A and B are shown apart, each in its own frame.
Chain A
Amino acid sequence: MRQLGELEAEIMHRLWAWGRPATARDVLTDINKQRPLAYSTVKTVADILHHKGMLTRHKEGRAWVYTPTCTRQQYTASLMQEALGSNPDPVGALVSFVERITPEETNALRAALRAAKRRNDA
């Protein structure tokens, strides 16, 4: 299962890096530069990504051509939104270093830090 996830990542990384639609064959050719892998494996995982909504696909000739549905930046932003967004649900899923605070509270925090540093320097 974990290996499947790694192959998903490999495919997404390539499509994001290339910035153009590509076939499973294109991806396989690139992966094969590093290690041998079967075409059917890449095709299967690309279809899994399609079903997960990560890739769209359309037919060109006889081959399916895959395109990422979002950019890497958008995907990262949604990850962070889920992790630390306005509704940090469910409790216990993750533990953040400091909670979100308002600008006024940030100023109070920085003032307290400055005051403490002055005390130490004096």
Chain B
Amino acid sequence: MITAVALAGYAALVGAALPPLLARAGWAHRTPAVAVLAWQGLMLTFVVAASLAVYHLVFAGEHAHGGLIGLLAVCGLAQGAPSHAPAAGDAFVLAAPVVVLVLPVGWLVRCALRARRARQRQLDMLALVGEPAPEYGATVVDHGAPAVYCLPGRSSRVVVTRGALDVLSDAELRAVLEHERAHITGRHHVLHLVVDAFSRAFPGLPLARHVKGQTVLLLEMVADDRALRSHSRDALATAMCEVAGGRVPRVALGADGGGSGALLRLHRVLTPQPRPHWTAWLGIVTATVAAPLLPLLLVCGP
């Protein structure tokens, strides 16, 4: 029972207490890739801790370690299952913690399928009205409002509107295209899917509320940094203003951040960011890797 309480406390720490702190952490915007990793670590840790806590609550009678092996045996993961192989009644008990695992995975599959359908539809429509521009490695759409976006995935594509070509100089356009290609090569859409699925699986959880907006913003920063490797700060910042300013504002926008993200990015692009000391970097990565393992040690340890 004490184990269950400890695990629940750990899940609450990761799911509710830490997210607001990480969202405000100053270092996050200086090393966005590490911050993305930290958010992924929090999600994994929450799922591991919460499912083990639930498991211990419903399985209080049984010895924890034997129970876990039983769980793995049910999944066919552990050879040489314990002598008291799980009976049919155990299967019901096991269902509760498994739900905590299945819920986000189920949402992930659903979101992935929906995104793929939407992408396919975009590709079909682009086949009719998009003109390939091989000199930019992009598809041009004859539309007045400046916009640039990418369709990630197997048949990935960067789409630029005629309006964007009109307002952007050649250097600015190339900086934007580099930014979009960074999304594609970095497979950022997979991370978008993961945070979307997580926030749908656990609505109301502070971690779920923060992780989506933060990850999307941090991935934009990763792509900005990538573009800045080969393009000037001025070109990327100007492009940001031109494209953002020429768009129709989104009305009735919910709590998902809005334009403050663009302003944060602009300031960040304009002023070089000091990189955190490598020990800080190492500390964050170590904590991220250790955090999901801790509850397992608690359960399986002596």
- A residues neighboring B (CB under 8 Å): 5-6, 8-9, 12-13, 72-73, 75-80, 82-84, 86, 89-103, 105-106, 108-110, 112-113, 116-117, 120
- B residues neighboring A (CB under 8 Å): 111-112, 114-116, 118-119, 121-122, 124-129, 141-143, 145, 147-152, 159, 161, 176, 179-180, 183, 188-190, 192-193, 196, 212, 219, 234, 237-241, 243-245, 247-253, 257-263, 265-267, 270-271
Q: How far is the CA of A79 from the CA of B126 in the complex (A)?
A: 8
Q: Tell me if A's interface is mostly helix, strand, loop or mixed.
A: helix
Query: What residues on A are CB-neighbors of B241 within 8 Å?
Result: 106, 109-110, 113
Residue of A nearest to B177 (CB): A97
B128 and A91 contacting across the interface, CB-CB below 8 Å: no
A105 and B262 contacting across the interface, CB-CB below 8 Å: yes
Query: What residues on B are CB-neighbors of A103 within 8 Å?
Result: 249
Question: A95 is contacted by which of B147, B150, B161 (Cβ under 8 Å)?
Answer: B150
Task: For residue A32, give the distance in angstroms from its CB to the closest CB of chain B.
Answer: 21
Q: Given A77-B143, A109-B240, A109-B262, A86 and B149 touching (CB < 8 A)?
A: no
Q: How far is the CA of A113 from the CA of B270 in the complex (A)?
A: 8
Nearest 6 A-B pairs (CB), nearest first?
A101-B259, A105-B259, A100-B250, A93-B118, A92-B115, A91-B196
Residue of A nearest to B150 (CB): A95
B129 and A96 contacting across the interface, CB-CB below 8 Å: no
Query: What residues on B are CB-neighbors of A108 within 8 Å?
Result: 259, 263
Query: What residues on A are CB-neighbors of B179 within 8 Å?
Result: 97
A95 and B189 contacting across the interface, CB-CB below 8 Å: yes
B263 and A109 contacting across the interface, CB-CB below 8 Å: yes
Most buried by B among A86, A94, A97: A97
Q: How far is the CA of A105 from the CA of B246 in the complex (A)?
A: 12
Q: Given A12-B128, A97-B148, A113 and B238 touching (CB < 8 A)?
A: yes
Task: For residue B152, give the distance in angstroms from its CB to the closest CB of chain A.
Answer: 6
Task: For residue B190, give the distance in angstroms from its CB to the closest CB of chain A.
Answer: 8
Query: What residues on A are CB-neighbors of B114 within 8 Å?
Result: 89-90, 93
Apart from the given pairs A91-B196, A97-B148, A106-B244, 11 other A-B contacts in the complex at a CB distance below 8 Å: A79-B141, A79-B143, A82-B118, A82-B122, A92-B192, A93-B119, A95-B180, A96-B149, A97-B240, A99-B244, A99-B262
Q: How far is the CA of A78 from the CA of B121 in the complex (A)?
A: 12
Query: What residues on B are CB-neighbors of A91 within 8 Å?
Result: 111, 115, 192-193, 196, 212
Task: For residue A95, give the distance in angstroms from its CB to the closest CB of chain B.
Answer: 5
B147 and A84 contacting across the interface, CB-CB below 8 Å: yes
Query: What residues on B are CB-neighbors of A96 within 8 Å?
Result: 147-149
Query: What residues on A are CB-neighbors of B145 within 8 Å?
Result: 80
A105 and B258 contacting across the interface, CB-CB below 8 Å: yes
